[in-house]
Amino acid sequence: MKILVCKGDGIGPEIVAAAEAVVKAASRRFNLGLEIDYAEIGLESLKSQGTTFPDATIQRMKESDGIILGPLHTAIYPPPEKGGPNASGGTRKALDLYANVRPSRVRPGCPAHVKKMDVVIVRENTEGFYADRNMFAGRGEFMPTPDVAISMRKVTREGCMRIAESACELAKQRSGKLTMVHKGNVMKMTDGLFADCVNEVASRYKLEVDEYFIDAMTALIVRKPEFFDVIVTTNMYGDILSDLAAELSGGLGLGPSINAGADHCVAQAAHGSAPDIAGRNIANPTAMILSCGMLLDWLGRRHKRPELQEAAKRIDEVIESQLADKNGRTPDLGGKLGTGAFGEAVAKRLAG
């Protein structure tokens, strides 16, 4: 099974190396037969190939079973026409990765802003307000005059139905409860369509469904996080809500995610490239490692290979015990371990 690694920018190379050590240990321990290969992306490929998102990398991604993608510092990329397309959004579009799945869980012993939280946010990933991916040609943002800026939001029945399916499937495997989040009181057509689709799919799955507006939801998830389990929402609401959930449950360094479509899955930490701490061996690779675990779980389900799912479960358990030990943490969580040492410690626990 082929896994393609793209290191990314900022702390990307450090946290990806730590995650790679864990994935290799899992492959040995569970006989997964994973073959790891590399492709350039981001600032690295801008320097060597003149673009942050080379065609060759896209092709290699399409040929891989799974992809490990480090964070990308897109804010400093040159304009797309000068070689700086957003390779993160570009990957989601090129591989049609419509489901961004972001769990946030309070881990025993880890500092968190709330006592109890175990939610998974399922965010639509290919349309909505995202100007770089919601159009066939051109961008969903334009300025008719220097003083007028207009943004278009695209919501389709197909997009809503497939994200609803992903969320309902997950809710069925977990507590049977689904929360949908939107702003249908104001965005009556777009969010109205989203809500209709989620209700239709959820009734087929016979789930318990509740519904909140995004503004109320930001307050509720702080006030009673234990009340929620699987949350489904559109692209930008999900982006914002999942950062809030990650921070509440212990910080951005703990928030994993996968971006999944029908045929491809990319492991990608929910946080960004953190250029302020890059190259100092202090970044927390937990989110990246857990994202790789989620990728193995996705591959296990897709290829009906239970050993991949077993490896994913074990990675999660090992991270839990590693973080429960104060000496086993990186500086963002009050510990002293470096990024590399954290990865090695987790890999060692996995092998044992």
Find the Cα–Cα–Cα–Cα dihedral 237, 243, 249, 254, rounded to 10°. 140
Q: How far apart are CA 225 and CA 352, in angstroms?
A: 35
Q: Determine, following the binding rule CB under 6 A, whether residue 233 of this chain makes contact with ligand ATP.
A: no
Q: Determine, following the binding rule CB under 6 A, whether residue 58 of this chain makes contact with ligand ATP.
A: no
In the residue annotation, 215 being an active-site residue is answered as yes
Q: How far apart are CA 193 and CA 189, in angstroms?
A: 6
In the residue annotation, 130 being an active-site residue is answered as yes
Q: How far apart are CA 255 and CA 282, in angstroms?
A: 16
Among 4, 34, 46, 73, binds ligand ATP (CB under 6 A): 73
- Measuring CA to CA, which residue among 8, 84, 16 is closest to residue 40? 8
Nearer to ligand ATP, 16 or 287 (CB): 287
Q: Determine, following the binding rule CB under 6 A, whether residue 271 of this chain makes contact with ligand ATP.
A: yes
Strands ordered across the beta sheet of 99-105: 35-38, 2-6, 66-69, 265-267, 258-260, 99-105, 118-124, 230-233, 177-182, 208-213
Stretch that binds ligand ATP, among 179-187, 212-220, 265-273, 303-311 (CB under 6 A): 265-273
Q: Determine, following the binding rule CB under 6 A, whether residue 167 of this chain makes contact with ligand ATP.
A: no
CB of 331 to ligand ATP, least distance (A): 8
Window 133 to 162, contacts with ligand ATP (CB under 6 A): none
Of all residues in the shown chain, the one whose CB is closest to ligand ATP is 272
Q: How far apart are CA 172 and CA 6, in angstroms?
A: 33
Instruction: Please give the C-alpha separations between residue 202 and each of 19, 88, 331, in angstroms, as whole numbers.
Output: 35, 30, 42
Q: Determine, following the binding rule CB under 6 A, whether residue 252 of this chain makes contact with ligand ATP.
A: yes
Q: Determine, following the binding rule CB under 6 A, whether residue 90 of this chain makes contact with ligand ATP.
A: no
CB of 237 to ligand ATP, least distance (A): 18
- Measuring CA to CA, which residue among 213, 216, 175 is closest to residue 194? 213
Q: For strand 2-6 and strand 66-69, is the pairing parallel, antiparallel, or unpaired? A: parallel
Q: Determine, following the binding rule CB under 6 A, whether residue 43 of this chain makes contact with ligand ATP.
A: no
Q: Determine, following the binding rule CB under 6 A, whether residue 54 of this chain makes contact with ligand ATP.
A: no
Q: How far apart are CA 201 and CA 193, in angstroms?
A: 13
In the residue annotation, 55 being an active-site residue is answered as no
Q: Determine, following the binding rule CB under 6 A, whether residue 274 of this chain makes contact with ligand ATP.
A: yes
Q: Determine, following the binding rule CB under 6 A, whether residue 253 of this chain makes contact with ligand ATP.
A: yes
Q: Determine, following the binding rule CB under 6 A, whether residue 52 of this chain makes contact with ligand ATP.
A: no
H or E segment at 321?
helix 306-324
In the residue annotation, 65 being an active-site residue is answered as no
Among 12, 42, 54, 71, binds ligand ATP (CB under 6 A): 71
CB of 101 to ligand ATP, least distance (A): 18
CB of 287 to ligand ATP, least distance (A): 6
> Which are the contacts of 345, defined by CB distance < 8 A and separation ≥ 6?
322, 328, 337
Window 186 to 215, contacts with ligand ATP (CB under 6 A): none
Q: For strand 99-105 and strand 118-124, is the pairing parallel, antiparallel, or unpaired? A: antiparallel
Nearer to ligand ATP, 209 or 274 (CB): 274
**Where on the chain is the footprint of ligand ATP (CB under 6 A)?**
11, 15, 71, 73, 75, 252-253, 271-277, 283-284, 287, 332
Catalytic site residues? 130, 183, 215, 239, 243
